[in-house]
Amino acid sequence: MAIHHRNRIHISIGDVVIDLEGSTIQVDEEFDLLKGDDSWSHLIEKLRDARELAVEAAVRAVKDVGLPERGSAFLALVKKSALQRKPDQVLGAIHYLREVEGKSDCPPRVIEDLFEDAGLEKPGNLSLYLNRLREKEYLCIPDGVEDKNRYAILTPEGRAHLDKRSLE
């Protein structure tokens, strides 16, 4: 007796609903066709807009109540963007510190404090995470800075990676 597995992808963003169901091959083919369509680009843009609104709301919350609430704002970003792996959380922390708090540099101590404020386990070897994120070209270091890690900024690839995590 053959067992037939059904696969399903269901995405609902605003008024756009995508519901694919069938065998693995069918769902993969339909999903590939969908990704080649302009509506997929529109959907991804809606997700980016939603994430930007969440970041803007976090900025307002931080400004309204001050930095003691930074931990809950960062934790909300981690949860909404589904940043479960520690490297993704480190990338999210740098994004948060630069974009929400407007910091021009993010020394390791500040990143670790942000994790602590959010009630998250601190990254054990932060330099290792930062170096691996740089190797993947998710972070870059501007030319002419002495303490390279504290000035890391997200690359377009790093932002796309965070966007992708939000979709998973």
What residue spans define the domains of the chain?
66-167
Per-residue pLDDT reduced to its tens digit, 90-132: 999 999 999 888 888 888 899 999 999 899 999 988 889 999 9
| Identity of the amino acid at 41 | S
Nearest partner of 42 among 13, 20, 66, judged by Cα:
13
Q: How confident is the model at residue 61 (pLDDT cuts 50, 70, 90)?
A: low
User: Model pTM?
Assistant: 0.61
Per-residue pLDDT reduced to its tens digit, 128-140: 999 999 999 999 8
Crossing angle of the two packed helices 86-95 and 156-167, in degrees rounded to 10: 120
> What is the CATH class of 66-167?
mainly alpha
Q: How far apart are CA 105 and CA 149, in angstroms?
A: 9
Is beta strand 139-140 parallel, antiparallel or unpaired with respect to 16-22?
Answer: unpaired
Strands, E assignment, 1-102: 7-13, 16-22
Q: How confident is the model at residue 150 (pLDDT cuts 50, 70, 90)?
A: confident
Does residue 134 contact residue 141 with C-beta atoms inside 8 Å?
Answer: yes
Residue 148 tokens read as: 């390279």
Per-residue pLDDT reduced to its tens digit, 1-44: 555 667 888 877 767 777 888 888 888 888 888 877 777 777 77
